[in-house]
Chains A and B, each alone.
Chain A
Amino acid sequence: MSEKLTTERHPDLMELEAARTGEATVAVRDHVKACPRCQEIIAELDMLAVDARVNRPAVMGTPSRADEAVFSVIEQRSQEIRWRYPKRRRFLTRPVWAAAAAIAVAVLTWSVLSPHRAMLPTIVKSVSYAGDVDRDGAVDIVDAYLMALRLESGIKTPENWDLNKDGAVDKQDIAVVTLAAVAVVEEA
């Protein structure tokens, strides 16, 4: 990554994912340490990983807002291409342009929109905050330990710790956090 990270330029989603899995560059790591916004996004990525583990298909698909954004830009771009090219040439180049535009727009839209919290379902966000018990920006084994400690103490636990939504905060919820902590993210 050659561009210097500043408060204006946040890491993109791939860089934040790398930071989440401990594989980011020093520049990204330093930025994340000092940036609450990026820490929040990383916490949400953590919980996406949890969701993948506990099979919640509701959050696995492309959000409808992203779909709409991608299709609207494709449509706009297609109109521009239709206007710019004569009919015969357009006939030959349109499929190539459409495919290229679709890929470019999809990548661009994903990288621009996905870091924003609005893209992620509220439920994932609330679970991520709950799972990150000590609020250090990551869900790890210490969060599971702190949950277990609180459960053993008998002190009332926060309702949002019911991560598997079974109506009770118990060992199953600690297991969800533990799974998130040890989940192996596929590497490219």
Chain B
Amino acid sequence: MKRIIFVLSLIAGTIPVSDVQARTAQESIVRFQAIDLYVDSGEHRLVAYQVEMRFDKSRVEVVGVEGGEVEVFKDAPHYDPRGLAGGRLILAAFTTDHKNAPQGRTRVARSHLRIEGEGQPDLGIRLITAAEPGGQRIKAKVDLEPANSDTMTKEEKGGE
């Protein structure tokens, strides 16, 4: 009888523990990833852009936003801090330096993401508006791409 009680208590104690362990393991898989935002304005010079980025807020948090590769968009774009952990972030920037406004596909911003759990999270990006010198709206393409390690600083690479 004692043996049966002992076995039952072991089973009763093991099930929740293993469940909790599995959950904790899943939550503890946390990694950081840099994602680049590209705007392709084609033959037009790009002086302003506004995009909406969507992500699963239960897994992803934006922990940093910085500017892009060209001088005129070197500073971090404008955004609402409420969106960083809210699943929806609007990024926008403009320049009045028309001569140096980029053409074609340009990296205009970089976001640093904190991702929980395994697998690649779904990230959505949508152009709200873009303009060429003078303020005329233009059709542009936007896309996200994992940051290329060649364009990352030592700090971004993790101090290698």
Listed in ascending order, the chain A residues whose CB lies under 8 Å from chain B are 22, 134, 136, 140-142, 144-146, 148-149, 152, 178-179, 181-184, 186-187
- The yes or no answer to B22 lying at the interface (CB within 8 A) is no
Report yes or no: B78 in contact with A145, Cβ–Cβ below 8 A: no
Q: Are A148 and B96 closer than 8 Å at their CB atoms?
A: yes
Q: Would B129 and A182 count as touching, CB distance under 8 A?
A: no
Question: B interface, how many residues as a size bin?
Answer: 20 to 34
Chain B min CB distance to A155 (Å): 14
* Known A140-B50, A141-B48, A149-B135: A183·B80 in contact at CB below 8 Å: yes
Nearest 3 A/B pairs, CB to CB: A145-B94, A141-B92, A184-B83
Among A22, A142, A148, A149, chain B packs the most CB atoms within 10 A around the CB of A142
In the complex the two chains form, what is the Cα distance from A41 to B119 in whole Å?
Answer: 43
Given contacts A141-B50, A182-B78, A182-B90, contact A149 B96 (CB under 8 A): yes
Which one of A134, A142, A183, A184 contacts B94 once the chains associate, using CB atoms below 8 Å?
A142
Chain B residues whose C-beta falls within 8 Å of the C-beta of A140 in the assembled complex: 50, 92, 128-129
Give the nearest-CB partner of A187 in chain B: B88
Q: A22-B128, A141-B49 are in contact. Are A146 and B135 (CB under 8 A)?
A: yes
